[in-house]
């Protein structure tokens, strides 16, 4: 029979499930390639079913080792194993991990099946359950830590990006003006304005890169996170970041900066202007 075990409601003052927690029936548990205590490895696909009495024993023994952020445990919809619900992580907590107290608990230390089959089953199931619990908690915490690091890194990046966009637009306008008939009558002044616009665009790019460097470092730190870069930035509160040129951070190195992009654009503009001047004779004399 499928059942839900609400934890947050029946907690005692310590934040742990009460020892009189009961359930109508025990769920099936499955966890492939899980190392049990004592160095014993459970083979992939190994499954067993917990009886109601074993279920009560397991939760009573696990109670002191459960995290305070655990809210609820329920059967997984697939019918195998358990699904855990936690309080929201901030990402600034310590990474979830099975506590040392679990391994030191004399009622949970590994017992060989040949020594005591019943205890072996209970302790193996407890090991599986707690390992799964902290594995799932870590996955959720890992995403929260990524988002928290991005919030710290972004700071005023949105304003700096907007400033860059304004200067880039002004640069493009100054460059496009050179193609108009009017530019010919004031070529030196038009070129001077282009140079000024280039310098402002480069400065704005450098300013944004100061934030992009930290953002890229956060991306690299969480390279193996389940969240993608845009998804993580969106969760951090910056959906507009999908348009940002952040570059790449790798082992403390920063590449593909916005300044590099602007420098390439300026080089193209300068090459074109130089060619126009050479072919038109404006640069003569």
Average the pLDDT over 173-187 and give the result: 95
- Give CA–CA dist 55/61, Å, rounded: 10
165 in the same domain as 136: no
Does residue 132 sit in the same domain as residue 245? Answer: no
Return the structure tokens found at 216: 């890229």
Same domain, 134 and 239: no
Picking from 99, 131, 150, the residue at the C-terminal end of a domain is: 150
> Cβ–Cβ contacts within 10 Å for residue 198, how many?
21
Q: Is the pLDDT of residue 92 over 70?
A: yes
CA-based nearest residue to 85, from 97, 102, 70: 70
**Domain membership flag for residue 116:** yes
40 DSSP 8-state letter: P
Quote the number of domains for the chain: 2
Q: Domain range for residue 138? A: 4-150
What is the pTM (predicted TM-score) of this model? Answer: 0.77
- Mean pLDDT over each residue of the chain, to the nearest integer: 84
Nearest Cα neighbor of 202 from 157, 163, 242 is 163
How many other CB atoms are there within 10 angstroms of residue 222's CB atom? Answer: 19
Helix (H) or strand (E) holding 160: helix 157-177
pLDDT of residue 46: 56
Note the pLDDT of residue 77: 85
On the 0-12 / 13-18 / 19+ scale of CB atoms within 10 A, 64 is middle
Query: Any idea what DSSP says for residue 256?
Result: S
Torsion angle of the four alpha carbons 252, 253, 258, 261, in this order, in degrees rounded to the nearest 10: -170
Domain boundary among 128, 150, 172: 150
The mean pLDDT value for 189-210 works out to 98
User: 229 and 143 in one domain?
Assistant: no
SS3 state at 221: helix
The C-alpha angle 280, 282, 285, rounded to 5 degrees, equals: 125
Give the end of a domain, one of 93, 124, 150. 150
Residue 285 lies in a domain: no
3-state secondary structure of 228: coil
Q: How confident is the model at residue 80 (pLDDT cuts 50, 70, 90)?
A: confident
Identify the DSSP state of 240.
G
Residue 5: count of CB within 10 angstroms of its CB: 17
Are 129 and 41 contained in the same domain?
Answer: yes
Residues 115 and 207 placed together within one structural domain of the fold: no
The answer as to whether 270 is a domain residue is yes
Spatial distance between the Cα atoms of 193 and 195, rounded to a whole number of angstroms = 5
pLDDT computed for residue 270 by the predictor: 97
Residue 27 has pLDDT above 70, yes or no: no
Judge if 99 and 63 occupy the same domain.
yes
With H, G, I as helix, E, B as strand and everything else as coil, classify residue 137.
helix
Calpha distance 159→90 (Å, rounded) = 25
**Exposed, middle or buried by CB within 10 Å (0-12, 13-18, 19+), for 160?**
buried
| Dihedral angle of Cα 214, 220, 223, 227, to the nearest 10 degrees | 20
More confident residue, 46 or 205: 205
121 pLDDT above the threshold of 80? yes
Is the same domain home to 57 and 187? Answer: no
Residues 12 and 53 in one domain: yes
């Amino acid at each position: 029979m499928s059942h839900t075990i609400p934890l947050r409601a029946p907690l005692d003052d310590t934040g742990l499930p009460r020892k009189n927690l009961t359930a109508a029936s025990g769920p099936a548990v499955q966890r492939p390639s899980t190392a049990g205590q004592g160095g014993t490895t459970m083979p992939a696909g190994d499954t067993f079913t917990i009886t109601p009495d074993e279920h009560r024993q397991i939760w009573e023994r696990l109670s002191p080792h459960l995290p305070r952020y655990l809210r609820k445990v329920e059967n997984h919809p697939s019918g195998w194993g358990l699904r855990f619900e936690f309080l929201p992580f901030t990402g600034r907590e310590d990474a979830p991990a099975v506590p040392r107290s679990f391994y030191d608990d004399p009622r949970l230390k590994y017992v060989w099946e040949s020594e005591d089959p019943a205890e072996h089953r209970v302790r193996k199931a407890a090991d599986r359950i707690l390992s799964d619990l902290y594995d799932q908690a870590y996955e959720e915490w890992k995403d929260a830590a990524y988002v928290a690091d991005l919030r710290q890194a972004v700071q005023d990046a949105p304003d700096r990006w907007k400033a860059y966009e304004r200067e880039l637009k002004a640069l493009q306008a100054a460059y496009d003006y050179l193609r108009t008939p009017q530019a010919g009558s004031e070529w030196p002044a038009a070129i001077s304005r282009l140079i000024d616009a280039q310098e402002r665009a480069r400065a704005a790019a450098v300013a944004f890169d100061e934030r992009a460097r930290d953002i890229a470092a956060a991306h690299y730190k969480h390279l193996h996170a389940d969240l993608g870069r845009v998804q993580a930035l969106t969760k951090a509160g910056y959906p507009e970041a999908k348009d940002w040129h952040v570059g790449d951070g790798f082992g403390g190195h920063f590449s593909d900066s916005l300044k590099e992009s602007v420098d390439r654009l300026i080089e193209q503009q300068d090459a074109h202007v130089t060619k126009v001047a050479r072919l038109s004779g404006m640069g003569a004399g």
